[in-house]
Structure 1
Amino acid sequence: MYHIGVGGDDVGLDGFTDEELAAAAAAGDPEAFEVLVTRMAPIVLRFVRRMVGDAQTGEDLAQETVLALWRGLPEFAFRSTVRTWVLGIAHRKVVDHYRRRRDVPAPDTRFADLEAPEPLPAEAAEQTALRDALRTELSQMQATPRAVWWLREVEGLSLAEIATVLSLTDGSVRGHLQRSRAFLTTRLAPWKPGASVHAGEPSAEPRSERGQR
């Protein structure tokens, strides 16, 4: 049996990869599973909270994901990374949640006509005002582009990994990412360095005087 730290040996589990921990947990090592959950829980919780917009529901779905992780480990075939697999479970829990509410988001058409400019600057997202605005704009997105953007920009998954998590093609993921970046860049333009007005504030220049001279 594949077991990490047997016999009370002082073996640090933090040095093992997610895949090694998953293999050990699948073989019956509870300590390995505990460390694996410690690693995965923050990622899962951030994702589901952002997708459902409610802290308590997010907690519940994260708990369901961990339970499904435990039950599914013996059948996990390592055809993807553990992180990709776990986020796929979390995504299915989110979809099930919306289905239970009979509120499955409609296919996305919101960003169809937008071009894809440069991605949202990561350093600007550190500003409090921009962070609050970003949270608001993300909540207005359809579920799929929101998930794609979050998994790429926050969790750092590759396009192929996101396609696996969300059961999409690579091309579909790329399109959703480009359109969501375009949407956020446009909506958050007032918070870019050098911008003189904030969203919802009128311009200091009267409309009637624009373009004169």
Structure 2
Amino acid sequence: MNDLNHSRSAGGDFEMNGFSDEELAAAAAAGDPEAFDQLISRTAPILLRFVRRMVDDAQVAEDIAQETLLAVWRGLPDFAFRSRVRTWILGIAHRKVVDHYRRHRDYPTDGQDFESLASAEPLPSDQAERAELVVALRAELTQLPPTSRAVWWLREVEGLSLAEISGVLGISNGSVRGHLQRSRAFLTTRLAPWRPGAGGPAAPEEVGISGERRRE
């Protein structure tokens, strides 16, 4: 916070890009709206992507994202920095998603059987282009139990660590690992007919939502 004030008093254009999320959060908690705006500009993209993957209705997803940002603003003074700011924000978003489905009484259970999911109508066996693989991936993600879907997305697309995902979803590292393994196995089976190029099936954990192979 003192560093931020010093940067302002030094004159010239005030740039916040050099400060960490945690420093911005501390300043925002003290009532600095500019620091909050900068923090949100950094975290909003991952927040929106995550909520839109968890909620099919685009307008509902936007509303949940807005509710999350409001909760972040209100909760910053009590944020104890026991986790990274990004993890804390995604955790709020996850709880908002769960609350939404509970209100509508249509939140699927995590006990849903993977074998029954895999026995759905077979996928087309013809060769598919990369764009079709991405469409298929998005469709199959909706078939996963919600926690498994969240784990896969946060790990394979957003690149969070297992510990960070554990903090977001409020489950153990072992549970995160189990959900990730089952999700990868399910998606690998379901996406097997999609063989981009001559290199064989693209493993779902290697394919981001844009269709590009994921880099480790």
Measured after TM superposition, the shift of residue 127 of structure 1 is: 2.3
* Alignment-derived partner of residue 185 in structure 2: 182
Does 2:107 correspond to 1:104?
A: yes
* Aligned pairs (5 A) from 1:107-118: 107-111=110-114
Cα distance change of structure 1 residues 195 and 111 upon mapping to structure 2, 3 Å threshold: farther
1:92-132 deviation per Cα after TM superposition (whole angstroms, max 9, x unaligned): 00011011101222133423799xxxxxxxxxxx9211110
Q: Is 1:169 equivalent to 2:172 in the alignment?
A: yes
Q: Where in structure 2 are the equivalents of 1:11-26 lying within 5 Å? A: 11-26=14-29
Alignment of 1:94 with 2:97, yes or no, is: yes
Give the partner amino acid of 2:158. E
In structure 1, the gaps of 5 or more residues are: 115-125, 198-213
Residue number in structure 2 paired with 1:75: 78
Distance change in 2, residues 1:109/1:146 (3 Å): same
CA RMSD of aligned residues (A): 2.3
Residue in 1 that maps onto 2:44: 41
Counterpart code for 2:8: V
What residue in structure 2 maps to residue 192 of structure 1?
195
Identify which of 120, 126, 131 aligns with 1:128: 131
> Larger C-alpha radius of gyration, 1 or 2?
1
In structure 2, the CA distance between the partners of 1:78 and 1:112, relative to structure 1 (3 Å rule), is farther
SS in 2 for 1:181: helix
Task: Tell me the matched-pair count.
Answer: 186
Q: How much has 1:29 moved relative to structure 2?
A: 1.1
Letter in 2 for 1:159: L
Q: Secondary structure at the match of 1:140?
A: coil
Give the CA deviation at 1:196: 9.2
TM-score (norm 1): 0.81
**2:144 is the alignment partner of 1:144:** no
2:8 maps to what in 1? 6
Contact 1:18 1:36 in 2 (8 A): yes
Runs of 4 or more above 3 Å deviation:
1-5, 193-197
Change (3 A) 1:177 1:112: farther
Matched to 1:65, the amino acid is T
CA contact (8 A) 1:112 1:179 kept: no
The 1-side partners of 2:200 and 2:115 are apart by 29
Distance 1:196 1:73, change over 3 A: closer
What TM-score do you get using the length of structure 2 for normalisation? 0.80
State whether residues 190 and 196 of structure 1, in contact with CA within 8 Å, keep that contact through their aligned partners in structure 2. no
Mean Cα displacement is larger for which, 146-155 or 97-106? 97-106
Task: Tell me the percent identity.
Answer: 69
Matched to 1:52, the amino acid is: V
Unmatched runs of 5 consecutive residues or more in structure 2: 118-128, 202-216
Q: Partner of 2:193: helix, strand, or coil?
A: helix
On the 8 A contact 1:160/1:170 being kept in 2, the answer is: yes
Q: 1:196 to 1:167 in 2, by over 3 A?
A: closer
How far off its partner does 1:165 sit? 0.6
